[in-house]
Amino acid sequence: MMNIKTSLIIIIIATNVIAFSQNWYSDLFKFEKTISEITELVSPSVVVIANVNNSNEIISFGSGFIIRENGVILTNFHVINGANKLLVKLADDTIYDVEGIIDFDPDIDYAILKIKVNNLRFVSIGATENLKIGTKTVAIGSPLGFEYTVSDGIISQVRHNGNYSLIQTTTPITFGSSGGPLLNLYGEAIGITTAGFEGGGNIGFAIPLHHIKGIKANNLSVKYSMTQFLKLYGDKVATQNSTGTHLSDSDGNWILWLIAIWLFWGILPPA
């Protein structure tokens, strides 16, 4: 008869084998898609996020993407920072108020929003811990207000700073694209498109999704009402001058300062 210790070892081994088998089986039947197929698959899950003032004038806007069918949306923090009121426009042109904020981090530059709607198409989350240089990528966003623009490129490098990293990509990222998904060829989101540079060649940056706390949690609930969030980060609308990320933005964002140092002082640490 097996003792308790032996039984526990067998259970642990069996559990790991089952988990490995499930991942192996899942990966075995994943096939790369064409850009047209990715566009058709993901575009319905990409949204436009607008900062609106008291006169309902759009002050600034960016992109975002749905990560749960019940209206959970991922974007950049700088897209919503300084808002007076936030509106989300879906691919079918319906417009929703933001119900509240699930989580945010001004330094990493992400925010998870919630709108009150169900049965939405959402973007699957891909693995980002071991990205390969040269991997093809696709971005969907609203550069300069041209909604649902699709562009492609590759992962140029993965830049590290302590515990944090950024995906450097040749995929074009311009004003209005901030907050949209950077996708692999399986149509899975691997990053949030965050910054691009005028006259900087094909240099863009995205935040790898493994830096987003709880992104794979089953239950994502609102932690901050819009009233609570706006008390902390609202009433700066008049000072916002972009529909994307400028290096001149003075929001103290760790991501922007790090990119500025890398680019202008030539400190470009690779992976």
- Per-residue model confidence as pLDDT tens digits over 49-58: 998 877 778 8
Which position has the higher pLDDT, 19 or 132? 132
Which position has the higher pLDDT, 242 or 151? 151
pLDDT of residue 18: 47
| 195 SS3 class | strand
pLDDT of residue 188: 97
**Is residue 92 flagged as an active site residue?**
no
The answer to whether the beta carbons of residues 107 and 253 sit under 8 Å apart is yes
**Catalytic residue (one of 156, 165, 178, 211):** 178
The answer to whether the beta carbons of residues 192 and 180 sit under 8 Å apart is yes
**Residue 66 pLDDT > 80, yes or no?**
yes
Kindly report which listed range (14-18, 89-93, 121-125, 161-165) carries the lowest average pLDDT score.
14-18
Q: Which residue has the tokens 């990715």?
A: 38
**Is residue 78 flagged as an active site residue?**
yes
pLDDT of residue 200: 60
Q: Which residue has the tokens 């987003």?
A: 212
- Conformation bin of residue 247: beta by default, left when phi > 0, alpha when psi is -120 to 50: alpha
Cα-trace Rg, the chain: 20
pLDDT of residue 266: 46
The answer to whether the beta carbons of residues 69 and 75 sit under 8 Å apart is no
**Is residue 178 flagged as an active site residue?**
yes
**Catalytic residue (one of 45, 60, 63, 109):** 109
Give CA–CA dist 179/66, Å, rounded: 11
| 157 SS3 class | strand
pLDDT band at residue 234 under the 50/70/90 scheme: confident
pLDDT band at residue 15 under the 50/70/90 scheme: low
**Residue 114 pLDDT > 90, yes or no?**
yes
**Catalytic residue (one of 45, 78, 103, 151):** 78
